[in-house]
Amino acid sequence: MKRVRINAGKVGLVFKNGDYRKVLTQGNHWVGLGAIVHTYDMTISFTPPIALDILLEDERLFNMLHLIEVKDGEICLVSTNGKLRHLLTASRYAFWKGLLDFDFVKLNLNELEVPKSIDKALLAHVSLRPYIRTFEVAAFEKGVLLVDDVYVKTLDSGTYHFWKNNTTIKVLKVDMRQLQLEISGQELLTKDKAAIRINFYTQYKVIDIERALLDNKDYEKQLYIAMQLVLRAYIGTYTLDELLERKESIAEAVFSDIETTATQLGVRVLNCGIRDVILTGEMKDIMNQVLVAQKRAQANIITRREETASTRSLLNTAKLMEENAMLYTLKEMEYVEKIADKIGEISVSGNGGLVKQLKEIFAVSK
């Protein structure tokens, strides 16, 4: 016989000639000669030296163990004191009872969603991460959940966790805020064949996410093309002058016409308008010439109007002078004064009146 000591937190299994004999707990024990004692730490899982089923025939040992059977498509979370200790995959496991308070949670990987009962901090654990697919839908977004390419439901903003398995999962997301679509540099012909480029803008918002993502492919591109075609159709019915005068009414007409198409795409057009009308190089030169001609014509009209007013004023003055001799004399003296300002030197003889001589001099000068 020989004496064997089993310390606290340990368990001993006695084997003789390769056969299991009994289990030893804490304390001093006597075993026969030739017996071999294997000791095991009760804080870790039990890895049997021989087939576990043989050991479990010992009822005492059987009652000392937690037996965990993890099937294919399952995992088991093993925690102690609220902390994850092990993640078990498909197999059979044994843990010692009595020392640690083990908590076992089996999870079915063949299910779609990770149970909400699992703590979020646990989902971020490095050992669990390879088994989870995570999708985030931002606060300004909504998502469409597709399972094996079949629509399941619409997702609001939040974080969603799904098991990694043979099921295909897709989350298509859409920005639900007000968006803007720019149609820039569209080269179009007006009714009078003027080549122009137009910058057009559209503000819109997605109102039906299922229709936008599931019933239509690339709804933004389709909206762009629809706006482009409507704009082209309206521009072709206006001359260049009409287009420049009616930009607001054209934007309203385009807005009204695109409404039905936008609804079919799952969006609502909130506003649209022509930002710029750009003339091509040749058209720009022609329009500049037209503008110069118009301004010159306006200047000529103003000049003629002023000349007419001046002539009318002279006619009125002449009529007054004809009726009043004194006014005629004063007007005559006014002109003599103006002429005298331009003469440097005047010679006057002593014969006759001074005024008479001046009048004769100016009469000759004229």
Q: What is the pLDDT of residues 213-228, one digit of tens each?
A: 999 999 999 999 998 8
pLDDT at residue 295 tops 80: no
Q: What is the mean pLDDT of the chain?
A: 84
Q: Helix 325-340 to helix 354-365 angle, to the nearest 10 degrees?
A: 70
Q: Report the pLDDT value the prediction gives residue 265, as an integer from 0 to 100.
A: 94
Distance of CA 299 to the CA centre of its chain: 53
3-state secondary structure of 268: strand
Residue identified by tokens 């122009």 is 196
pTM for the whole thing? 0.66
d(C-alpha 273, C-alpha 276), whole Å: 9
Q: Report the pLDDT value the prediction gives residue 329, as an integer from 0 to 100.
A: 73
Instruction: For the beta carbon of residue 241, count every other beta carbon within 10 angstroms.
Output: 12
The encoded tokens of residue 312 equal 């009318």
Sign of the dihedral through C-alpha 342, 344, 347, 353: positive
Q: Report the pLDDT value the prediction gives residue 350, as an integer from 0 to 100.
A: 57
Q: Report the pLDDT value the prediction gives residue 364, as an integer from 0 to 100.
A: 47
**Angle at Cα 30 formed by Cα 28 and Cα 31, nearest 5°?**
135
Whether the CB-CB separation of 47 and 13 falls below 8 Å is answered with no
- Using alpha carbons only, how large is the chain's radius of gyration in Å? 52
Residue of 137, 155, 134, 159 lying closest to 146 (CA atoms): 155
Q: How confident is the model at residue 357 (pLDDT cuts 50, 70, 90)?
A: low
Q: Report the pLDDT value the prediction gives residue 191, as an integer from 0 to 100.
A: 79
Q: What is the pLDDT of residues 101-122, one digit of tens each?
A: 899 999 999 999 999 888 888 8
Q: How confident is the model at residue 21 (pLDDT cuts 50, 70, 90)?
A: very high
Whether the CB-CB separation of 279 and 196 falls below 8 Å is answered with yes
Q: How confident is the model at residue 316 (pLDDT cuts 50, 70, 90)?
A: confident
pLDDT at residue 317 tops 80: no
Q: Report the pLDDT value the prediction gives residue 158, as an integer from 0 to 100.
A: 93
Q: Report the pLDDT value the prediction gives residue 95, as an integer from 0 to 100.
A: 94
Pick the range with the lowest mean pLDDT from 137-146, 314-323, 333-342.
333-342
Q: How confident is the model at residue 42 (pLDDT cuts 50, 70, 90)?
A: very high
Longest dimension (CA), the chain: 179
Q: Report the pLDDT value the prediction gives residue 355, as an integer from 0 to 100.
A: 60
Q: How confident is the model at residue 346 (pLDDT cuts 50, 70, 90)?
A: low
Q: Where do the structural domains in the chain lie, given as residue ranges?
A: 1-78, 179-279, 334-366
Instruction: For the beta carbon of residue 347, count every other beta carbon within 10 angstroms.
Output: 6
Sign of the dihedral through C-alpha 222, 227, 230, 233: negative
Q: How confident is the model at residue 180 (pLDDT cuts 50, 70, 90)?
A: very high
Mean pLDDT of 203-209: 94
Q: What percent of the chain has pLDDT over 90?
A: 45
pLDDT: which is higher, 285 or 155: 155
Q: Report the pLDDT value the prediction gives residue 291, as an integer from 0 to 100.
A: 62
Instruction: For the beta carbon of residue 143, count every other beta carbon within 10 angstroms.
Output: 23
Q: What is the pLDDT of residues 160-175, one digit of tens each?
A: 999 999 999 999 999 9
Q: Label the pairing between strands 195-206 and 102-108.
A: unpaired
Q: Report the pLDDT value the prediction gives residue 27, as an integer from 0 to 100.
A: 92
Q: Report the pLDDT value the prediction gives residue 366, as an integer from 0 to 100.
A: 44
Q: What is the DSSP letter of 52?
A: H
pLDDT at residue 311 tops 90: no
d(C-alpha 234, C-alpha 198), whole Å: 12
Q: Which CATH number fits domain 179-279: 3.50.30.60, 3.30.479.30, 3.30.2420.10, 3.40.50.300?
A: 3.30.479.30
Q: Report the pLDDT value the prediction gives residue 257, as an integer from 0 to 100.
A: 87
Q: Report the pLDDT value the prediction gives residue 133, as an integer from 0 to 100.
A: 93
Q: Report the pLDDT value the prediction gives residue 179, as an integer from 0 to 100.
A: 93
Q: What is the pLDDT of residues 226-251, one digit of tens each?
A: 988 888 888 888 887 777 777 778 88
